[in-house]
């Protein structure tokens, strides 16, 4: 078993706000991330696939193929975008790191043909990041 | 002569758009940075002061003081903000790296008391950055 | 299940030395880290919490809260300090990465209220680091 | 249980090519990595050992010893080398990240005396990397 | 006056060898970089242009244009290549960092239309790099 | 003219304290860096030499030679040391970044034979650094 990872980046703006909460409650929960006009980040996304290397090629999958899948299905939809407004699959979603990671997993997972999707790692800065390994994984490890 | 640098970070959203240009011309010039709903970055700001170390302290200036100046006069105004809307000193300014660097210089320069402001270096990603050394410097070096 | 990580930094000095060993044995085990007058590092600490995102907020916990906990309970005690002398909870402890990670876990773990502490990752440089996941975890994964 | 990691670097050239495939098939699978005259990378290798800290030393193992093992058994054989031609243990091996990780594991594993080899992490750039945890580990956890 | 920089990367193999020197002299000068079968690097190239921002656009030049120029005229020729064999403009050139920087300057300089080429910065690792500012610059600053 | 840089690292402890100042004045100037038992850093040192590449070798100087000079004359004296106590050439010197940079320049400069020492760049963290270019350089550029 081998884990293969491809890292990509995108830059986007967002605002953390739950319309069902009061403005005061929103500020309390989300702090400066609740700024009404939004703010933004350079996000880093690491996609990890688990599989057995093909003895003939020495590879679990072609990293160009993985890059192309992530670029097409995720990055092209979120790069240089406002995550609250511009992204069809994020409508009705508060764009926290946690929610983004789950959405990214659900979109990408059906497209992985060699090996299986093992992990989505999403950084909004080098200080804050989340790791998600799918809803069927009871233990995060 | 010694150069002393302090690095700080902020995250913000922006849109590059000149209202005097047509929409088509704006897209042509600014590309995906013209996205109507904006996008965002983790910006890195390096502020460099030139001076002679004080023989008694061995320092050009106290880096805590420099950090405090940059935090108070710049970072607090732009961090977790929309640069097109939220920042008084950026009204009427297209928030390109170049324009931000000049504005930051003009705001910070009068507050440097030990040594003189030598350079503003501003990154919007680790791939794109500008360096500005003031309007009286004919040569950038 | 989701893993959420906050990274913080501190700088400190230390000396690796076991007073029950001979000087020669100490030099043999700890090498240059046994230098009698100590040396120092910029440490990087990553604290990871595992939990389920709250559907209402989209977050496992507020990263500001996690940062505040780590800052208050750990960083304030060790930043700009001598780990052999200045830190009450490290008295009688040889300040290796391994011992620091266990101490940090034991101090921080009771304060995590949303989710549970999953991992302490401690770097003394970008070349050397340890990962600790608690004494009840038989397997490190 | 504690994980201890040491990072080392090496630079090398390689070509991905399977002589049993047609030239066209090789180009299809390996893309620009099939360039007949090769290309190269600064590789980063992280070696992780799992173990219990010795209460007397506060360490799982001496990182100098781990560094020395990795340097002697791996880095000295691959640094500033052509991986297709110059490395005895890579003869008959297509030098993909996956194949390199398995070979590195098999060479290094018998030499780890304190603790057990837990993970080989190999980067060919900061965008592409693999993780390997041994052939007896059914789950990559 | 403003400096605007775009960073790009390429990976390549090379061998440092002067056929007019003896083998012994080559090994003495170039050390392990003289390995007959070559080795390789992930190179980082920073291209800096100096100019005055256009008041209408707030930019010295469009970074997409600069990226496109560097990609087309330089990166496409050297990425995933053997610098001793595959690159027409490097025939008869020993591919040291210094020689690469001068060649890159000479190729790129005529294509910069807004502003003027100010600096080529070329890293073969994060430990070794050169800076070149053109043959007419008597002083490197 | 070409600038060639080699980066090295060292880790050390220090305390900023001027015995001619009162304790209160020392705390006021140096803040937490005045902690009586010291603290420490992973320092990064970049040494830059300016020169003309030798047409026969394509190099200003051999980077191995530069590395060896810096290692021997500087790093071996300060790595894993207490800068206030252990370093002969720092006796009577308050170990600020500024003072270290001047001392490093004065020690290294006579040993540079190919080209001339152009710049010492010293980081105590990725947020704080100084640049020194020698006492005869009236302008820091």
Minimal C-alpha gap between D7 and chain E (Å): 15
Q: Does B54 touch chain E (CB under 8 A)?
A: no
What integer best gives the mean pLDDT of chain E? 95
Q: Does A85 touch chain D (CB under 8 A)?
A: no
**Per-residue pLDDT at A135:** 85
Confidence of residue D140 (pLDDT cuts 50, 70, 90): very low
**Per-residue pLDDT at D135:** 85
Mutation target for B interface from E9, E53, E55, E133: give the one with most B CBs within 10 A. E53
Q: Is the dihedral of CA F44, F47, F48, F53 positive or negative?
A: negative
Find, in chain F, the residue whose alpha carbon is nearest to that of C78: F39
Separation between Cα atoms, residue D40 and residue A20, nearest integer Å = 54
- In this complex, do F1 and E98 lie within 8 Å of one another by their Cβ atoms? no
Q: Does C65 touch chain F (CB under 8 A)?
A: no
- ∠ CA B63-B66-B71, nearest 5°, is 125
Q: Are F121 and F130 in contact (CB under 8 A)?
A: yes
The three-state secondary structure class of B73 is helix
- In this complex, do D39 and E125 lie within 8 Å of one another by their Cβ atoms? no
What Cα–Cα distance (Å) separates residue A129 from each residue in A101, C4, C63? 10, 6, 10
Residue among D56, D62, D63 whose CB faces C18 most closely: D56
**Per-residue pLDDT at B125:** 96
Assess whether B68 carries a catalytic annotation: no
Tell me if there are at least 3 CB pairs under 8 Å linking chains A and E. no
Q: Does D130 touch chain A (CB under 8 A)?
A: yes
Name every chain B residue with its beta carbon within 8 A of the beta carbon of F21.
56
Model confidence pLDDT, tens digit, residues B53-110: 999 999 999 999 999 999 999 999 999 999 999 999 999 999 999 999 999 999 999 9
Give a yes or no: residue C140 inside a domain.
no
Give a yes or no: residue B110 inside a domain.
yes
Separation between Cα atoms, residue C15 and residue C25, nearest integer Å = 15
Give a yes or no: residue F90 inside a domain.
yes
- Mark D5-43 as b/e (b = at least 16 C-beta within 10 Å): bbbbebbbbbbbbeeebeeeebeebbeebbbeebbbbbb
Model confidence pLDDT, tens digit, residues E88-134: 999 999 999 999 999 999 999 999 998 999 999 999 999 999 999 99
Token pair 């390096």: residue = B46
- With 0-12 / 13-18 / 19 or more C-beta atoms within 10 angstroms meaning exposed / middle / buried, residue F29 is buried
Name every chain A residue with its beta carbon within 8 A of the beta carbon of D101.
2
Chains in contact with E via at least 3 Cβ–Cβ pairs below 8 Å: B, D, F
Confidence of residue E141 (pLDDT cuts 50, 70, 90): very low
Q: DSSP characters for D50-61?
A: EEPPBTTTTBSS
Confidence of residue E39 (pLDDT cuts 50, 70, 90): very high
Closest among C56, C60, C16 to C38, alpha carbons compared: C16
Closest among F11, F2, F8 to F83, alpha carbons compared: F11
- With 0-12 / 13-18 / 19 or more C-beta atoms within 10 angstroms meaning exposed / middle / buried, residue B92 is exposed
Please count the structural domains in chain E. 1
**Per-residue pLDDT at F135:** 85
Which CATH number goes with the domain that contains B82? 3.30.479.10
Confidence of residue D112 (pLDDT cuts 50, 70, 90): very high
Q: Are E79 and E40 in contact (CB under 8 A)?
A: no
Return phi, psi of residue F29, to 5°. -80, -45
Give a yes or no: residue F141 inside a domain.
no
Chains in contact with D via at least 3 Cβ–Cβ pairs below 8 Å: A, C, E
Give a yes or no: residue D140 inside a domain.
no
Q: Which residues of A are catalytic?
A: 33, 80, 124
What Cα–Cα distance (Å) separates residue E38 from each residue in E6, E75, E93? 29, 20, 15
Confidence of residue D141 (pLDDT cuts 50, 70, 90): very low
Whether residue E140 has pLDDT greater than 60: no
Give a yes or no: residue A141 inside a domain.
no
Region C41-61: what's the mean pLDDT?
Answer: 97
Q: Are F58 and F19 in contact (CB under 8 A)?
A: no
Region A87-108: what's the mean pLDDT?
Answer: 97
Catalytic residue among B33, B41, B73, B111: B33
Give a yes or no: residue B112 inside a domain.
yes
Q: What's the DSSP call for residue E3?
A: E
Tell me if there are at least 3 CB pairs under 8 Å linking chains D and F. no
State both tokens at C137.
């975890």
What integer best gives the mean pLDDT of chain D? 95
What integer best gives the mean pLDDT of chain B? 95
Assess whether B124 carries a catalytic annotation: yes
| Long-range contact set of residues C97-102: C-beta below 8 Å, sequence gap at least 24 | C97/C122, C97/C124, C97/C128, C97/C129, C97/C130, C97/D4, C98/C130, C98/C132, C98/D2, C98/D4, C98/D53, C98/D58, C98/D59, C98/D60, C99/D53, C99/D58, C101/C130, C101/C131, C101/C132, C101/D2, C102/C132, C102/C135, C102/D2, C102/D53
Separation between Cα atoms, residue E49 and residue E66, nearest integer Å = 9
Give a yes or no: residue A140 inside a domain.
no
Find, in chain B, the residue whose alpha carbon is nearest to that of E118: B140
State both tokens at C6.
């906050």
Mutation target for A interface from D20, D127, D136, D138: give the one with most A CBs within 10 A. D127
Helix (H) or strand (E) holding D120: strand D116-123
Model confidence pLDDT, tens digit, residues B10-58: 999 999 999 999 999 999 999 999 999 999 999 999 999 999 999 999 9
Separation between Cα atoms, residue D118 and residue B60, nearest integer Å = 48
Structural domain for F25, as ranges: 2-135
Neighbours of E30 (CB within 10 A): 22
- In this complex, do E96 and F53 lie within 8 Å of one another by their Cβ atoms? yes
Residue among C96, C129, C140 whose CB faces D59 most closely: C96
Q: Which residues of E are catalytic?
A: 33, 80, 124
Region F44-56: what's the mean pLDDT?
Answer: 97
**Per-residue pLDDT at C87:** 98
Q: Does E56 touch chain B (CB under 8 A)?
A: yes
**Per-residue pLDDT at F139:** 53
Terminal alpha carbon distance of chain B: 15
Whether residue F3 has pLDDT greater than 50: yes
């Amino acid at each position: 078993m081998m884990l293969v990872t491809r890292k990509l980046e995108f830059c986007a703006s967002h605002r953390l706000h739950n319309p069902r909460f009061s403005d005061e409650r929103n500020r309390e929960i989300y702090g400066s991330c609740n700024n009404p006009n939004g703010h933004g980040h350079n996000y880093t996304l690491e996609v990890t696939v688990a599989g057995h290397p093909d003895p003939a090629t020495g590879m679990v999958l072609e990293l160009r193929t993985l890059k192309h899948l992530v670029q097409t299905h995720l990055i092209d939809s979120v790069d240089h975008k406002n995550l609250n407004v511009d992204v069809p699959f994020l409508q009705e979603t508060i764009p926290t790191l946690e929610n983004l990671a789950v959405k990214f997993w659900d979109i990408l997972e059906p497209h992985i043909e060699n090996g299986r999707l093992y992990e989505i790692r999403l950084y909004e800065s080098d200080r804050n990041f989340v790791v998600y390994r799918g809803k069927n994984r009871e233990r995060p490890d």
